[in-house]
Amino acid sequence: MATKKTATSACKMTAKTAAKTTTLPTRHEELICWVKDFAKLTQAKNVVWCDGTKKEYNEMCDALLKAGVFTKLNPKKRPGCFLARSHWSDVARVEDRTYIACKKQEDAGPTCNWIDPTELKKTMTGLYQGCMKGRTLYVIPFSMGPIGSPIAKIGVELTDSPYVVVNMHIMTRVGTKVLKELGTNGEFVKCLHSIGSPLKAGQKDSTWPCAPLEKKYIAHFPETSEIWSFGSGYGGNALLGKKCLALRIASNLARREGWLAEHMLILKLTSPAKKVYYICAAFPSACGKTNLAMMEPRVPGWTVETIGDDISWMKIGADGRLYAINPEAGFFGVAPGTSMDSNPNAIRTITKNTIFTNCGLTDDGDIWWEGMGVPAPDHVIDWKGVSRKPTVDAKGKKVFLDEKGEKVNIAHPNARFTAPAAQCPVIADEWEDPAGVPIDAFLFGGRRPTVIPLVNQAKDWTHAVFMGSAAGSETTAANLSAIGVVRRDPMAMLPFFGYNAADYLLHWLTMPLRTNPEKLPKVFFTNWFRKDEKGFMWNGFGDNSRVLKWVCERIDGKGKYQDTAIGFLPTADAIDMTGYVDSSRTPAEVKAAMATLTSVDKEGWKKEIATVADSYAQFGNKMPHVLKAKLAEITAALKK
């Protein structure tokens, strides 16, 4: 599965002799030697094996509180919650410092940041030398997925960050029970992490130690299933079970082993007749993935329950269907914009036992961020620790300004919450079923103000993969690029490919060879973001359940549709609009908008197809021929 067995001659301490000198929670000789060798390299002052207990979590939080890393929030408002503030330079994934280090550059492809693995390991070994002086090395055994699940994988992260430990407690299944499952010779993914900030004797520690940007590395070695991270303590750079293992390394494992590791939510949809459908959806950033996973449907009688909001691992079951698990145990969500309007169930989830990072702190010990749906406080400490008071603008709205009179964010735009999935009020009973749930449909999507219809069904599996390969979002005024340019994000995996994206698409194309094609999920492309002169043409949020209802009807072979050049679109009256209200449009205007949303803009699509062809060009002959043929087929159909 993961790491290859390595010679242990460099490590003289065997599991047997280690047990004589100290009590260790495992007899896994390779693991013990690996930990010992890294502790020696980094010169850590001591080594702690994490047991995953609530007692350990509480003690770590208390230590972070005493160190000034955590601020305890008001226990009456948010029991068990803490706020952390990172260094201003360590606030998000650093894609330009994220590497795929495989032997051949062509195996990484043009969308990955490639570097020679031998060269990189030499550089990073030098950085790791003595990097944990004065610090504790924590050993975090973790399971991605329910422990013992045939779809789950085990990793072990070595880190000097207590912040990482407590977040991994929430995001994964951690501790001694994982080591028991690993046994004495089980395979595991090796994950090395350091904040890269050794302490001299008597030196006062920073509340957020990290290395400068030029020394930050997030490295993936797909051929040996290893992850090496240095210099950052934030999010996906440091919580190595998340994007690093769950997508970049797992996508490689999935290709070798014949399964799928995807950047997809998993939701359970139940009809009024109590029929259950399981749906996975892949959307690029800022396209409402978490909102959909926790949606409150506006179609009477339908319910949505959450299985996962970010990642899906899927294997073919004995019955030939794809079964999915959520490999994570928590939610690592973007805070700004999350409100009772956009995602009420997320707001309910984070009322307790949650770690907030880079949010504002109010005088009554609560958190605040932009787009929270509550009035701005009269005084707040921003994410940098600066005291702020709002002013009232010409429209009577409270705004926060710096000393130059320029608007400032109280919460960083990438401020996060880390919360246990189990406390989500709409978590599905089967969210931890080790067998997974059978997937009925895949949704792809993007933020597209023009051309792309509300929903479009693929005609066959090749068409489905083509749809996913063409996914992306148009840039807006908020992006530092030309407005209206499409940034292609195939399968919403662009930042997370662990190997050549063309080979990844080829892997998807092989799925009908692995099972009965009729048992694969039906595939749809959605777009909640189409605009006209009045603004958004579709309400989104809870009204997206209307689209999901039609998706379910199509799964059942029902649901009215029209066969078009680009796929099967709903007829103008196929979407259930009962009770639908758009305050900016009259009923007649809503009807006209729906007619547009369910039709094909032929001229627009001709341009769309041309830009998809351009996006394929970078892969040369690596791009599967059948996708090029499908592109040519659609191009010809649009000319009729």
Residue type at 368 in one-letter notation:
W
543 to each of 140, 546, 579, how far by Cα in Å? 42, 6, 10
What domains can you pick out in the chain, each with its CATH number? Answer: 15-70+92-258 (3.40.449.10), 261-329+429-638 (3.90.228.20)
At residue 23, the pLDDT reads 87
Q: How many CB atoms lie within 10 A of CB 574?
A: 20
Measured in whole angstroms, the distance separating CA 199 from the mean position of its chain's CA atoms is: 33
Q: For the chain, how many residues are written?
A: 640
523-551 burial code (b ≥16 CB/10 A, e <16): bbbbbbbbeeeeeebbbebbbbbbbbbbb
Count CB-CB contacts under 10 A for residue 639.
Answer: 8
Q: 591: phi > 0 → left, psi -120 to 50 → alpha, else beta; which?
A: alpha
Buried b (16+ CB within 10 A) or exposed e, 161-187: bbbbbbbbbbbbbbbebbbebbeeebe
State how far the Cα of 208 lies from the Cα of 218, in Å rounded to an integer.
18
Q: What is the C-alpha to C-alpha distance for residues 556 and 277, in angstroms, rounded to an integer?
A: 10
Main-chain phi, psi angles of 149, to 5 degrees? -65, 140
List 455's β-bridge partners, or say none: 526
User: Which residues in the chain come in under a pLDDT of 50?
Assistant: 1-10, 12-21, 476-481
pLDDT, residue 284, reads 86
What DSSP string describes 47-84?
Answer: EEE----HHHHHHHHHHHHHTTSEEE--TTTSTT-EEE
- The whole-number pLDDT of residue 278 equals 98
* Cβ neighbour number for residue 110 with a 10 Å cutoff: 15
What phi-psi label fits residue 394: left (phi over 0), alpha (psi between -120 and 50 degrees) or beta? alpha
Cα 438 to its chain centre, rounded Å, is 21
Eight-state DSSP code of residue 571: P
The pLDDT of residue 34 is 98
Place of tokens 């590497």: 99
Contact 414/91 with Cβ under 8 angstroms?
yes
The answer to whether the CB of 28 falls within 8 A of the CB of 251 is no
Tokens at residue 480, please? 């530092």
Which residue in 258, 253, 267 sits closest to 310, CA to CA?
267
Do the beta carbons of residue 404 and residue 485 sit within 8 Å? no
Whole-number pLDDT of residue 482 = 52
Structure tokens at 605: 């699509």
What is the per-residue DSSP string for 290-313? HHHHT---SSTT-EEEEEESS-EE
Q: What angle do CA 625, 626, 631 make, to 5 degrees?
A: 100
> Of 102, 191, 210, 287, which residue is the catalytic one?
287
CA distance 91 to 414: 7
Distances (CA, A) of 166 to 276, 345, 515: 35, 23, 41
Cβ neighbours of 40 (radius 10 Å): 10
- Give the whole-number percent of the chain exceeding pLDDT 90: 91
Give me 45's structure tokens: 């002052």
Measure the CA–CA gap between 128 and 381, rounded to whole angstroms: 35
pLDDT at 11: 54
Q: Please say if 287 is a catalytic residue.
A: yes
Residues 6+ apart with CB under 8 A from 284: 446, 447, 471, 472, 473, 487, 489, 492, 494
Q: Quickly tell me which residue has 């045939």 as its tokens.
A: 150
Question: Of the candidates 414, 308, 377, 324, which has an alpha carbon nearest to the alpha carbon of residue 88?
Answer: 414
